[in-house]
Amino acid sequence: MYDRRKFISFLGKAGLGAATLPPFLTSCGSTTTPSETFQNVGDEALRKLKDLVLENMVASDKDDLLLVSGLDYHTVIRWGEQISDNDTFGFNNDFTCFIPLDENDPTDGLLWVNHEYVNPLFVSGFDQSKYENPREHRTVEQVDKEMYAVGGSIVRVRQENGKWAVVKNDPHNRRITGQTPITLNWDSPIEGKTTVMGTNSNCSGGITPWNTFLTCEENYDGFFGETVYDENNNASKKPSWYGWEAFYNYPPEHYGWVVEIDPKDGTAQKHVALGRFAHECCTVYELEDKRVVAYTGDDRNDEHLYKFISSKPGSLKEGTLYVADTDNGKWLSLDWESQPVLKEKFKDQTEVLIRVREAAKLLGATELNRPEDIEIDPITGNVLVSLTNNKGKGDFHGSILKVEETNGAFDALTFKASTYLAGGEENGFSCPDNLAFDLSGNLWITSDMSGSSMNKEDGPYMPFKNNSLFVVPRYGKDEGKVIRVASAPRDAELTGPWFSPDGKTLFLSVQHPGEQTVDKANPTSKWPFDADGIPKPAVVAITGDLIEKMNQLRQIEAMES
């Protein structure tokens, strides 16, 4: 297990950007590395930090992005805006990730943004509420518009006079869509193809140690359906919600993967070795010998937590996929060759990876309450996993799971699992989703109560009102408390928290404001309050004195040690 102080002092000795931590952990992101190289804030400022009591925002159902005092926001980009003369920003932005173009300049770089799914009412004008059998009334023009609005965007953004703005027509700016050809990083074709069409359901993601983006296909069955198997192993097709398969004959097996995007030219590949399921995210750690460990969870009721360990440096193909038995603290190998129970059921490793949910269950993997985001605690090395909820099992408010790998080794095959933080009224939050650590190692959490269950009288979510952003301070008077610092517009979810390399900006997505709208002329949200009155998903940049203070909070411990 990691000794916390040893870990910190190791980081201290290593300094920023060095040794076993991959550069992304030290330079930017949702897991920033606490720095030992703080400038001393001085005795007076330190006293103020020690006395600091944070404002805990009262839950609100107001249709606005509300922030506690000490934080400000400005909108960086919203759905429909031109990123170049040829392309526009997609819908329902989730994961956001910033990579500086020059590592010495934290104010200029490339922002990757996931576009998870679309609301047809706004994107293609298809109003399914009008029809008894909506699928019969779809047109290819509508489906094309929807396919264009999912996937992801690469946009160059620059900070000038304290505000981030898109550099329109920068040569890096491009869209990855539901129709972009993407190669499979695998030796065998899948459903006869080695290159597949497009990506969809791009929920959260990650970054690789070699500075490429990972975007994860989550609820892929909503777009092209799913192949399901009965007890006799007979296959049948389950239709999708969007009905795209009626227009494009793309097999379900081409979706449900972790997708890697090269920021330089937008080339993309799907990593079959990481398995096929509703990937929320993919969190990659580089070992000393440059092999990588990738954590990824399956966000569906009673599904599982996975970890891939590569056998070669920098590979997301050569290696072994494991699934977690959290009851016994074991990573179970999904290797067809060495698991007789898998050999009996599946014809080869490719089939195991395509039907990995079934394979995991055969091995006795633990059913979890919808694993969402995964982040590595930069101070302890613990792996935190949001388990958002599982209403079928009576878990309405979720929790955060802590995985402590044996001896702190990310390639260990045993671990200890425990609950780190429970959702519910006592702790003031429900349904944890995305996680991020700031420069002091404070934990930031976003919540994802569904639009259909929020703010319902007598419902379990009523006390929490709108989805929110929280911070759990690591030091000081509020140590360990869950403090609400932002409240989302109506029906929206705050997603993709990502710190700029200097820790001073928190990029955040505002996803699906007004999602419950049935009449476009009367939307349930009007955020961001454009003249057309239409709600729009957007990425905002949050800055302010409070973020600076949170980044300095570790001084309290540094001074005392």
Instruction: Enumerate the H helices of 186-339 as residue ranges.
Output: 221-224
When the beta carbons of 75 and 200 are compared against ligand FEO, the nearer one is 200
Minimal distance in Å, beta carbon 298 to ligand FEO? 10
Task: Tell me which amino acid residue 502 is.
Answer: D
CA distance 365 to 14: 37
Q: What are phi and psi of 341, to 5 degrees?
A: -65, -30
Tokens coding 51? 């006395």
Asked if 372 interacts with ligand FEO (CB under 6 A), we say yes
When the beta carbons of 218 and 286 are compared against ligand FEO, the nearer one is 218
Q: Is the dihedral of CA 139, 255, 537, 163 positive or negative?
A: negative
CA distance 34 to 374: 18
When the beta carbons of 203 and 360 are compared against ligand FEO, the nearer one is 203
User: Hey, which residues between 22 and 81 contact ligand FEO (CB under 6 A)?
Assistant: none
From 62-70, 153-161, 302-310, 369-377, give the range in contact with Ca ion by CB under 5 A: 369-377
Binding partner selected for residue 478 from ligand FEO, Ca ion, none, CB under the kind-specific 5 to 8 Å limit: none
Rg (CA), the chain: 22
When the beta carbons of 298 and 557 are compared against Ca ion, the nearer one is 298
Binding partner selected for residue 323 from Ca ion, ligand FEO, none, CB under the kind-specific 5 to 8 Å limit: none
CA distance 274 to 264: 23
Which of residues 77, 121, 155, 203 is near ligand FEO by CB under 6 A?
203
> Residue number with the shortest CB distance to Ca ion?
448
When the beta carbons of 64 and 226 are compared against ligand FEO, the nearer one is 226
Binding mask 213-252 for ligand FEO (x = CB under 6 A): -----x----------------------------------
Minimal distance in Å, beta carbon 494 to ligand FEO? 12
**3-state class (DSSP) for residue 373:** strand
Q: How many residues bind Ca ion (CB under 5 A)?
A: 3
- The DSSP code sequence of 151-194 is EEEEEEEEEETTEEEE-TT-TT-EEE-TT-EEEESSSS-BTTBS
CA distance 298 to 372: 7
> Residue number with the shortest CB distance to ligand FEO?
203
Asked if 253 interacts with Ca ion (CB under 5 A), we say no
Asked if 217 interacts with Ca ion (CB under 5 A), we say no
Tokens coding 334? 């999904």
- Burial of 236 per CB tally in 10 Å (0-12, 13-18, 19+): exposed
User: What is the strand order of the sheet 468-472 is part of?
Assistant: 66-67, 483-487, 468-472, 443-447, 432-437
From 50-58, 206-214, 366-374, 530-538, give the range in contact with Ca ion by CB under 5 A: 366-374
When the beta carbons of 372 and 404 are compared against ligand FEO, the nearer one is 372
Task: Tell me which amino acid residue 556 is.
Answer: I
When the beta carbons of 67 and 203 are compared against ligand FEO, the nearer one is 203
DSSP 455: T
Minimal distance in Å, beta carbon 43 to Ca ion? 42
Which of residues 280, 298, 405, 438 is near ligand FEO by CB under 6 A?
280
Question: Nearest 10 degrees: CA dihedral of 29, 90, 93, 204?
Answer: -60
Task: Tell me which amino acid residue 160 is.
Answer: E
When the beta carbons of 478 and 493 are compared against ligand FEO, the nearer one is 493
- The DSSP code sequence of 78-102 is ETT-BSSSS-B--SSEEEEEEEESS
When the beta carbons of 84 and 450 are compared against Ca ion, the nearer one is 450
Binding mask 370-389 for Ca ion (x = CB under 5 A): --x-----------------
CA distance 437 to 378: 8
**Cross-strand partners of 322:** 307, 333
Tokens coding 256? 């449900």
Question: Nearest-5° angle of CA 394, CA 326, CA 256?
Answer: 80
Tokens coding 15? 């300094």
Binding partner selected for residue 218 from Ca ion, ligand FEO, none, CB under the kind-specific 5 to 8 Å limit: ligand FEO
Minimal distance in Å, beta carbon 203 to ligand FEO? 3
Tokens coding 512? 């699906």
Binding partner selected for residue 438 from ligand FEO, Ca ion, none, CB under the kind-specific 5 to 8 Å limit: none
When the beta carbons of 512 and 526 are compared against Ca ion, the nearer one is 512
Which of residues 146, 325, 404, 448 is near Ca ion by CB under 5 A?
448
Binding partner selected for residue 557 from Ca ion, ligand FEO, none, CB under the kind-specific 5 to 8 Å limit: none
Minimal distance in Å, beta carbon 279 to ligand FEO? 9
- 477 in Cβ contact with 51 (< 8 Å): yes
- Burial of 440 per CB tally in 10 Å (0-12, 13-18, 19+): buried
Which of residues 299, 377, 438, 478 is near ligand FEO by CB under 6 A?
299
From 141-149, 240-248, 338-346, 442-450, give the range in contact with Ca ion by CB under 5 A: 442-450
When the beta carbons of 36 and 367 are compared against Ca ion, the nearer one is 367
Tokens coding 224? 């092209």
Using CB under 6 A as the criterion, which residues of the chain lie in contact with ligand FEO when the complex forms?
A: 116, 203, 218, 280, 299, 372
| Binding site residues, Ca ion, CB under 5 A | 372, 433, 448
